[in-house]
């Protein structure tokens, strides 16, 4: 039975507590009789699992007819109509008896609409209840006479419509509340009894047939633990393709800034000049620059013979100059990295994900990777943690390239073979991807290559650099004259290859030629100007010989990267939440351009059919700060903006009322205070510390705080205020970016979910409530093999209430196109 309760406030259940009205009692009776039941509609009230309906308080028949558009596509095979009471209550103000007499025609239009758009449906039309207002009650008699005549006329035509007689003395004024219109709780049980009796009558006539096929499942509303065989899909639920939700191909442009640094260095015959000895990396962060605002220092690395040209004044092995607004001047500041390394093996990069670049030494010739961690400070200090990646065979030092391929803020290891690049992910959340620090190396794409050679002339020009500022290392091939070829590294899908193989997209424009007389030693890259994009530096060299001294002058001519595009993907801004209080989630797109604009697509209940509302709110917040959850427990999703550093939050309270086209909002600055989460967020799209989910089942989203390894503390959001629950989930030793909080079994409490970033395989820990276990204030039970095999990489998976079942379904969101497919989480039976 796919049943639509249709009408106004009595259908919703006004005056019942909770607002289950007649619906729960009727559903319970029908299920007791053995019928699977799915109640449908765009409204959702009550405290039972199948609480959907199409009841609109205050609506006259004409309004009910219009509201039907929201859910008529759900094709119920049984419609229960109780409508017209408001026509009677408002009769005098709308024209008196002639208006009330018109209830016959208005109801006929409603019934005709149902019959014309839903093949095979059965309608049960109820007469109106006795009313405590004398004038209104006289109008009720008029309306009821019209309804009885209408049913007789349809029956004579062979239409499947029956009358549920609600005004024959069975339901009396004693069953009506003090307002004279709405039943008491007991009165609603009588309504349910009349509906059930009428249903039995039409069922005996063989009127009830199987409902029409629709996109999506027929959810029966009962809670159940998920099982692989009950996850059904895929069904395409989003078309994607909105052009404004992505920024096109990367196109390089640059501005000449002229000299940003100069250096004079004197050598002797037989000692190499130091053109190869300059590096760029962020060693210090004096001003607390955020990720994407890094500014690199210039670092000078001298080999032993270069350090001791003047025995009376030896030079430090390593020193740097601070970056001040893109200028690299001042004295050279010595640093001690705790190990010795020839310049040819020196590399810099963020191994531990703290935003500071660490020292890396690749041994010669094997390329064993030893690391000294940058502990911060100015000047920085370092901790030598030794060899973190011995040579695994098949490459030598010159074949190695380092870069953050998966965009998680931690440097990955790559090596080349015939120009093809094979990469290994830096896994874990500790200092290094080794067992000592709780980490591991993972093949980025299994045994396959991460990037193919593109038939380029040799490998010396290959660089892994983030040129578009999305935190992912792009492939840049540098020619000796300075021009480049660029492939942008996008988050991909399984169609791009195994594992985490990126979607590589060639840039529309790359670096132009600098000069035909150059070589690669004179072309450097660094983040000089705080844009998050790698800038090109042309090191110009002048040479002079004075007596026995060889005088080298170096001028660092910077070309600021002003390129754009290739940074924002449609899938990065996809969010879901119930903005209308109907029990299913709507689609929201959050812009990543700094405006924090929110576009709304209303869930119509029909797959791949969304009602477009465009922008409903401009927050002027970063995308990663924004969350969507019901903070005040009114059934409507609010918009929450969390401060990255303090964890305090502004909230836009959702004021949606039935009859409005879109929600409106009331802004509450710093509604949430107390530094409840200072974890902020990482570089990855979904690597976010603050989360909001209802873990105690009271209908209010609780404030969760996740550490990088998934350990979670919480503040429970209660009607009387927030309560510190301490640790609610210990770490399962997985990255938090791949964890979700979603109610997968429909019990009203969010469960703990992990999705494998490579395969999309799902692990579920069911929320057993507030029972202390293993240092956590909540109990969680692992349900092995509760979900089917993964369908795509973990970053492309979300858990969304696409239907009104109360259970989260799984949505595969393709990052580039925004196309989405849903796997419905159903219950058996």
CATH of the domain at 480: 2.115.10
In angstroms, the Cα distances linking 534 to 280, 355, 435, 465, 530 are: 10, 15, 32, 7, 9
Q: How far apart are CA 417 and CA 438, in angstroms?
A: 30
Q: How many domains does the chain have?
A: 3
478 within some domain? yes
φ/ψ of 624, rounded to 5, equals -70, -15
217 within some domain? no
Q: How far apart are CA 137 and CA 130, in angstroms?
A: 6
For 519, other C-beta atoms within 10 Å of its C-beta total 11
Q: How far apart are CA 141 and CA 131, in angstroms?
A: 10
Of 515, 545, 561, the one marking the end of a domain is 561
Does 737 lie in the same domain as 715?
yes
- Three-state SS string across 203-246, please? HHCCCCCCCCCCCCCCCCCCCCCCCHHHEEEEEEEECCCCHHHC
Does 538 lie in the same domain as 612?
no
pLDDT in tens, 24-51: 999 989 988 888 899 999 888 887 778 8
Q: Are strands 52-55 and 2-7 parallel, antiparallel or unpaired?
A: parallel
For 644, other C-beta atoms within 10 Å of its C-beta total 17
40 within some domain? yes
213 within some domain? no
Q: What six digits make up the tokens of 433?
A: 């991807």
Does 764 lie in the same domain as 695?
yes
DSSP 86: H
Q: Classify residue 251 by burial, with Cβ atoms within 10 Å: 0-12, 13-18, 19+.
A: middle
Q: How far apart are CA 367 and CA 592, in angstroms?
A: 39
Band of pLDDT at residue 218, cut at 50, 70 and 90:
low
Q: What is the mean pLDDT of residues 168-183?
A: 97
Does 422 lie in the same domain as 467?
yes
313 within some domain? yes
pLDDT > 90? residue 312: no
DSSP 345: G
Task: List residues bridging with 333 in a β-sheet.
Answer: 320
Does 767 lie in the same domain as 729?
yes
pLDDT of residue 43: 86
Please give the torsion angle defined by the CA atoms of residues 758, 760, 761 and 763, in that order, rounded to the nearest 10 degrees: 110
Helix (H) or strand (E) holding 24: helix 23-32
The residue whose two tokens read 């640093």 is 335
Q: How far apart are CA 15 and CA 11, in angstroms?
A: 11
Q: How far apart are CA 771 and CA 780, in angstroms?
A: 9
Does 573 lie in the same domain as 505?
no
510 within some domain? yes
- pTM of the prediction? 0.80
Domain that holds residue 404: 254-561
pLDDT of residue 827: 79
Q: What six digits make up the tokens of 404?
A: 């953050």
Does 69 lie in the same domain as 171?
yes
Does 454 lie in the same domain as 576?
no
pLDDT of residue 36: 85
DSSP 688: B
Q: What is the mean pLDDT of residues 407-435?
A: 96
Sheet-wide strand order for 420-427: 400-403, 412-417, 420-427, 440-443
Task: List residues bridging with 384 in a β-sheet.
Answer: 372
62 within some domain? yes
Q: How far apart are CA 426 and CA 403, in angstroms?
A: 10
Of 532, 561, 590, the one marking the end of a domain is 561
Q: How far apart are CA 430 and CA 113, in angstroms?
A: 63
Per-chain mean pLDDT for the chain: 95
Does 625 lie in the same domain as 532?
no
210 within some domain? no
Task: List residues bridging with 38 in a β-sheet.
Answer: 2
Q: What is the mean pLDDT of residues 797-823?
A: 95
Does 385 lie in the same domain as 471?
yes
pLDDT > 90? residue 249: yes
Does 809 lie in the same domain as 781?
yes
Does 552 lie in the same domain as 595?
no
Task: List residues bridging with 745 in a β-sheet.
Answer: none
467: Cβ–Cβ under 8 A, 6 or more apart, which residues? 250, 252, 474, 476, 486, 488, 507, 533, 534, 561, 563
């Amino acid at each position: 039975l796919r049943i639509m309760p249709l009408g106004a406030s009595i259908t919703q259940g006004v005056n019942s507590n909770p607002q289950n009205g007649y619906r729960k009692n009727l559903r319970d009776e029908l299920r007791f009789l053995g019928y699977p039941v799915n109640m449908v509609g765009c409204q959702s009230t009550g405290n039972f699992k199948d609480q959907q309906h199409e009841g609109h308080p205050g609506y006259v028949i004409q309004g009910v007819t219009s509201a039907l558009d929201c859910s008529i596509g759900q094709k119920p095979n049984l419609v229960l109509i109780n409508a017209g009471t408001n026509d009677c209550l408002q009769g005098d103000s709308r024209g008196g008896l002639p208006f009330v007499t018109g209830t016959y025609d208005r109801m006929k239009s409603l019934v005709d609409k149902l019959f014309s758009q839903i093949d095979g449906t059965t309608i049960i039309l109820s007469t109106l209840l006795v009313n405590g207002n004398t004038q209104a009650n006289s109008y009720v008699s008029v309306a009821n006479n019209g309804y009885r005549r209408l049913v007789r006329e349809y029956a004579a035509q062979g239409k499947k419509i029956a009358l549920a007689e609600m005004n024959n003395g069975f339901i009396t004024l004693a069953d009506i509340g003090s307002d004279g219109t709405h039943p008491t709780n007991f009165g609603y049980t009588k309504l349910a009894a009349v509906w059930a009796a009428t249903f039995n009558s039409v069922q005996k006539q063989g009127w009830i047939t199987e409902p029409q096929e629709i996109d999506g499942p027929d959810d029966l509303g009962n809670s159940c633990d998920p099982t692989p065989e009950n996850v059904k899909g895929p069904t395409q639920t989003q078309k994607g393709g909105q052009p404004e939700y992505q920024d096109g191909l990367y196109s390089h442009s640059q501005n000449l800034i002229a000299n940003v640094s100069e250096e004079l260095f004197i050598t002797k015959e037989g000692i190499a000049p130091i053109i190869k000895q300059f590096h760029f990396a962020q060693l210090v962060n004096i001003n607390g620059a955020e990720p994407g605002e890094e500014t690199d220092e210039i670092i000078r690395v001298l080999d032993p013979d270069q350090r001791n040209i003047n025995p009376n004044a030896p030079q430090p092995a390593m020193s740097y100059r601070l970056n001040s607004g893109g200028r690299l001047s001042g004295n050279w500041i010595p640093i001690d990295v705790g190990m010795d390394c020839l310049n040819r093996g020196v590399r810099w990069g963020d191994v531990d994900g703290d935003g500071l670049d660490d020292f890396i030494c690749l041994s010669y010739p094997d390329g064993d990777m030893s690391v000294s961690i940058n502990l911060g400070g100015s000047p920085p200090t370092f901790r030598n943690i030794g060899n973190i990646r011995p040579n695994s065979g098949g490459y030598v030092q010159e074949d190695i390239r380092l870069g953050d391929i998966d965009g998680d803020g931690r440097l990955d290891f790559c090596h080349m073979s015939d120009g093809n690049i094979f990469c290994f992910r830096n896994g874990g959340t500790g200092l290094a991807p080794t067992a000592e620090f709780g980490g591991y190396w993972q093949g980025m794409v299994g045994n396959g290559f991460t990037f193919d050679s593109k038939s380029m002339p040799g490998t010396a020009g290959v660089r892994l650099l983030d040129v578009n500022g999305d935190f992912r290392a792009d492939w840049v091939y540098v020619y000796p004259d300075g021009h480049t070829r660029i492939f942008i590294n996008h988050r991909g899908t399984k169609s791009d290859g195994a594992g985490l193989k990126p979607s590589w997209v060639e840039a529309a424009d790359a670096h132009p030629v600098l000069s035909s007389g150059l070589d690669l030693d004179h072309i450097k890259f660094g983040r000089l100007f705080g844009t998050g994009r790698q800038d090109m530096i042309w090191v110009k060299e002048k040479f002079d010989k004075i007596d026995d001294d060889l005088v080298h002058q170096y001028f660092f001519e910077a070309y600021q990267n002003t390129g754009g595009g290739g940074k924002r993907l449609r899938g990065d801004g996809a969010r879901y939440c119930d903005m209308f209080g109907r029990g299913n989630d709507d689609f929201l797109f959050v812009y990543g351009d700094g405006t924090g604009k929110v576009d709304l697509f209303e869930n119509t209940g029909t797959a791949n059919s969304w009602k477009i509302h465009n922008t409903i709110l401009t927050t002027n917040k970063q995308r990663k700060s924004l969350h969507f959850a019901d903070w005040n427990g009114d059934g409507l999703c609010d918009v929450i903006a969390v401060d990255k550093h303090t964890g305090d939050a502004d909230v836009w309270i959702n004021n949606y009322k039935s009859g409005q086209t879109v929600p409106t909002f009331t802004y509450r600055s710093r509604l949430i205070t107390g530094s409840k989460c200072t974890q902020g967020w990482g570089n990855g799209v979904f690597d976010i510390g603050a989360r909001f989910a209802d873990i105690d089942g009271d209908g209010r989203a609780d404030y969760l705080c996740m550490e990088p390894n998934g350990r979670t503390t919480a503040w429970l959001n209660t009607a009387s205020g927030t309560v510190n629950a301490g640790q609610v989930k210990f770490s399962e030793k997985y990255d938090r970016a791949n964890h979700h909080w979603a109610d997968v079994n429909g019990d009203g409490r969010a469960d703990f979910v992990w999705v494998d970033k490579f395969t999309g395989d799902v692990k579920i820990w069911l929320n057993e409530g507030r029972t202390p276990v293993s240092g956590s204030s909540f109990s969680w039970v692992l349900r092995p093999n509760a979900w089917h095999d993964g369908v795509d990489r973990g970053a492309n998976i979300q858990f969304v209430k696409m239907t009104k079942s109360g259970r989260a379904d799984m949505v595969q969101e393709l990052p580039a196109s925004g196309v989405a497919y849903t796997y419905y989480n159903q219950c058996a039976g």
